[in-house]
Amino acid sequence: MHSIKQLISFAVLATAAAACGAATVRVSFDDNIFAVGSDNMAIRYGKSTLGVAAGMFSGKLSNLNGVQASTFVLGASEFYAYCYDLDETVWGGRKVDYTVNLDGGTARTLDFLGAVNSVLNTRYGTSDPYAWLNPRSGAVAAAIQVGIWESLYDTSGWNWAAGQFGVAYGADSSTASWLNTFIGAVNTSDALDGAYVMTLVASGAQDMITGSVPARVQPLASQVPEPASLALVGLALVGLTAVRRRQS
Residue ranges of domains in the chain: 22-247
Q: Is the predicted pLDDT of residue 62 greater than 50, yes or no? A: yes
User: Among positive and negative, which fits the CA dihedral 125, 53, 173, 154?
Assistant: positive
Instruction: Provide the pLDDT confidence category of residue 12 given band limits of 50, 70 and 90.
Output: very low
- What separation in angstroms does the CA of 118 have from each of 56, 111, 132, 148? 19, 11, 9, 15
Q: What average pLDDT does this structure show over 235-245?
A: 49
* Global confidence as pTM: 0.82
- Predicted pLDDT at 231: 46
Q: Is the predicted pLDDT of residue 82 greater than 90, yes or no? A: yes
Cα distance between residue 193 and residue 229, in whole Å: 16
Min mean pLDDT across 16-30, 95-109, 119-133, 201-215 is at 16-30
Q: Pick the residue with more confidence: 218 or 129?
A: 129
Q: What average pLDDT does this structure show over 19-32?
A: 88
Q: What average pLDDT does this structure show over 72-90?
A: 97
Instruction: Provide the pLDDT confidence category of residue 103 given band limits of 50, 70 and 90.
Output: confident
Question: Which tens digits make up the pLDDT trace of 196-227?
Answer: 999 999 999 999 999 999 987 765 433 434 44
Min mean pLDDT across 16-20, 40-44, 237-241 is at 16-20
Q: What backbone phi and psi angles, to 5 degrees, belong to 189? A: -115, 155
Backbone dihedral region of 37: left (phi > 0), alpha (psi from -120 to 50 degrees) or beta?
left
Average pLDDT, the chain: 86
- Predicted pLDDT at 229: 42
Instruction: Provide the pLDDT confidence category of residue 240 given band limits of 50, 70 and 90.
Output: low
Cα distance between residue 228 and residue 75, in whole Å: 19
Quick one: which of 88, 86, 89, 82 has its CA closest to 59?
82
Q: Pick the residue with more confidence: 169 or 6?
A: 169
Contact 73, 211 (CB under 8 A): yes
Cα distance between residue 138 and residue 63, in whole Å: 30
Q: What is the DSSP letter of 237?
A: H
Helix (H, G, I), strand (E, B), or coil: what is residue 170? coil
Question: Which tens digits make up the pLDDT trace of 38-48?
Answer: 999 999 998 88
- Predicted pLDDT at 227: 43
E strands, 46-172, are: 48-65, 79-83, 95-101, 165-169
Question: Which tens digits make up the pLDDT trace of 135-155?
Answer: 999 999 999 999 999 999 999
Cα distance between residue 66 and residue 54, in whole Å: 31
Q: Pick the residue with more confidence: 185 or 9?
A: 185
